[in-house]
Amino acid sequence: MGVKHLVLDVNIIIDWWLNVGSAEATHSLIETARQRKNNRLWVVASSIPILDFVARRAFKQHGKTPKETQQIVARLIEQLLEDVQVLSNHGFEQADVYKVAENFEDAQITAALRSLPKGQVRIITENTDFDHLGEVETLTPQAGLAWVTGETTLTGSIPFIDLATQQACLRPQLERSIEGVLRHGQYIMGSEVSLLEAKLVAYTGAKHCITVASGTEALLISLMALGISAGDEVITTPFTFVATAEVVVLLGAKPVFVDIEPDTCNINARLIEAAITDKTKAIIPVSMYGQPADMDEINAIADKYNLPVIEDAAQSFGATYKGRKSCNLSTIGCTSFFPSKPLGCYGDGGAIFTNDAVIAQACKEIRVHGQSRRYYHTRVGVGGRMDTLQCAIVLAKLARFDWEVEQRIAIGQRYNQLMDEAGIQRVQQRNDRTSVFAQYTVLVDNRVEAEILFREAKIPTAVHYPVPLNEQPAYQHLCCTDCTPIAKDRAQRVMSLPMGADLNEIDQAKATEILSVNKQTPAT
């Protein structure tokens, strides 16, 4: 499960530099760990001045001049930092280990390790004092090598979405980015906001990006920018998170639900035209589970009736459709940076994308209470800004986003292969687009029994979503309830499995095995 984290103690690094003691094993360990994607090497920030001090003293004792010593040590530390990441000691004074540790150096290392996922961390050291603290296991460099290369999986339950491993891998970038905001103190509309918008424009290829307070706010502001109001109709899917239709109702308009495709669970483009009336003002397809819908067909129908299309891309940031990026597939694209989304922040956040300068300007104004300039309100708006800290977090997360998208696609395909071999029905993907698998979702006939089996195996599952929106108590009076039979059926049968860029093959196989057992279990 997850990534193995190896934290190098000072003594190990010094021996390696001086080529004494366990230097050879440490060298092999670092080389091996570097080459494996499921390992991370760390040095705690407080160890660096100690390394500097001890190394200088050692080289001086070996007869080097102060100038030579300075150059050698600076080069060694620089090289070290190419191979290992720096783990910070923030909050050390709040950790009580320093009261019981042999010295402050050990206490600082131990306290810093608390930010890494428990059970997945080992200190590489010859110093057994750490063992008395009972917080983290220690390994010699030789034992560390065996741990890294061994097939032993880490114990513990599988997280549904492994944000802890992602955070551990991005810890230095995240801390640097957050620290930057704390230093300049512009918590609203700080420089990170426009920097993120520029990066997202470059990523998606859309001309404009407006960051907003959440995915829900992105949809609401987009509809407001298009002038959707009471009496209007907006065509969408009932098989989605409630926010897609909620914003339509909030504006006094009516969601008109069109059924989904049985295989992808996306809106069925062939059914849209029949739902268009004189009151129709927009179409909102949802890129469900991370895969865009039939956007060419939907855009063609929309063009025929002169309607805007808003892609609800809350689950699909990073996906592509015929080579183009999700969020840049129609009039407007809206995404969410909710923490569990493919690109998530550590709170609420979202973004609107468009190639239309007039819509972009309207969205920008609506996001700040309809202001065109300070305290001059040209239209009715909302308080819908994404705060600077959340933008800083997304900026840090971009550091490994391309890799994560590749991993998600590969892991989704591996799941597909396992499910197909085991004869388990699953949501399908089309060849002309990619899914970022915000969820990996299968179809089961006896979901209650399957949930029990997964719970017993300590593997979390979820249902996205158990009730179609046209059957929800707050919405059923607005629309027909039995008009979307495929959505109704899928709501009873879908089940999402653990998914994420750091998910390993063993856990995927375990989940598949449970589904195979469940297939043999009669439904109650």
Ligand X SMILES: Cc1ncc(COP(=O)(O)O)c(C=O)c1O
Which residue ranges make up the site for ligand X (CB under 6 A)?
214-216, 240-241, 243-244, 286, 312, 314-315, 336, 338, 348, 350
Q: Which is nearer to ligand X, 52 or 246 (CB)?
A: 246
Tell me the closest approach of the beta carbon of residue 329 to ligand X, in angstroms. 15
Q: Which is nearer to ligand X, 292 or 350 (CB)?
A: 350
Two tokens, residue 122: 């080992």
- Of 163, 158, 89, give the one whose Cα is nearest residue 347: 163
Q: Which is nearer to ligand X, 3 or 282 (CB)?
A: 282
What is the distance between the alpha carbons of residues 427 and 416, in angstroms, rounded to a whole number? 9
Tell me the closest approach of the beta carbon of residue 255 to ligand X, in angstroms. 13
Tell me the closest approach of the beta carbon of residue 210 to ligand X, in angstroms. 14
- Of 204, 206, 201, 181, give the one whose Cα is nearest residue 192: 181
Host H or E run for residue 371: strand 371-373
Tell me the closest approach of the beta carbon of residue 491 to ligand X, in angstroms. 14
Do the bridges between strand 4-8 and strand 121-124 make them parallel or antiparallel, or are there none, so unpaired?
A: parallel
Q: Which is nearer to ligand X, 17 or 239 (CB)?
A: 239
What is the distance between the alpha carbons of residues 73 and 404, in angstroms, rounded to a whole number? 35
Q: Which is nearer to ligand X, 169 or 314 (CB)?
A: 314
Tell me the closest approach of the beta carbon of residue 245 to ligand X, in angstroms. 10
Q: Which is nearer to ligand X, 25 or 293 (CB)?
A: 293
Tell me the closest approach of the beta carbon of residue 246 to ligand X, in angstroms. 9
Shortest Cβ contact with ligand X: which residue? 215
Could you tell me how many helices (H) and strands (E) the chain has, helices first? 19, 18
Tell me the closest approach of the beta carbon of residue 241 to ligand X, in angstroms. 4
Tell me the closest approach of the beta carbon of residue 387 to ligand X, in angstroms. 14
Radius of gyration of the chain (CA): 27
What is the distance between the alpha carbons of residues 87 and 43, in angstroms, rounded to a whole number? 6
The alpha-helical segments, DSSP class H, found in 127-256 are 129-133, 141-149, 163-184, 191-204, 215-225, 243-250
**Cβ atoms within 10 Å, residue 277:** 10
What is the distance between the alpha carbons of residues 102 and 91, in angstroms, rounded to a whole number? 19
Q: Which is nearer to ligand X, 170 or 243 (CB)?
A: 243
Judge residue 252's burial from the number of C-beta atoms within 10 Å of its C-beta, 0-12 exposed, 13-18 middle, 19 or more buried.
Answer: exposed
- Residue 294 backbone dihedrals phi, psi, to 5 degrees: -75, 75
- Of 520, 519, 437, 512, give the one whose Cα is nearest residue 158: 512
What is the distance between the alpha carbons of residues 243 and 485, in angstroms, rounded to a whole number? 21
Q: Which is nearer to ligand X, 177 or 496 (CB)?
A: 496
Q: Which is nearer to ligand X, 317 or 338 (CB)?
A: 338
Tell me the closest approach of the beta carbon of residue 465 to ligand X, in angstroms. 9
The alpha-helical segments, DSSP class H, found in 442-502 are 447-456, 485-493
Two tokens, residue 208: 């404009």
Helical axes 163-184 vs 191-204, angle rounded to 10°: 130
- Of 306, 358, 359, give the one whose Cα is nearest residue 334: 359
- Of 407, 409, 403, 411, give the one whose Cα is nearest residue 511: 411
Q: Which is nearer to ligand X, 3 or 487 (CB)?
A: 487
Q: Which is nearer to ligand X, 45 or 248 (CB)?
A: 248
Tell me the closest approach of the beta carbon of residue 338 to ligand X, in angstroms. 4
Q: Which is nearer to ligand X, 314 or 329 (CB)?
A: 314
Whether residue 475 contacts residue 255, with contact meaning beta carbons closer than 8 Å, is answered with yes
Q: How many residues does the chain have?
A: 524
Tell me the closest approach of the beta carbon of residue 247 to ligand X, in angstroms. 9
Q: Which residues pair with 373 in a beta bridge?
A: 376
Identify the residue whose tokens are 């094993």.
Answer: 25
Tell me the closest approach of the beta carbon of residue 312 to ligand X, in angstroms. 5
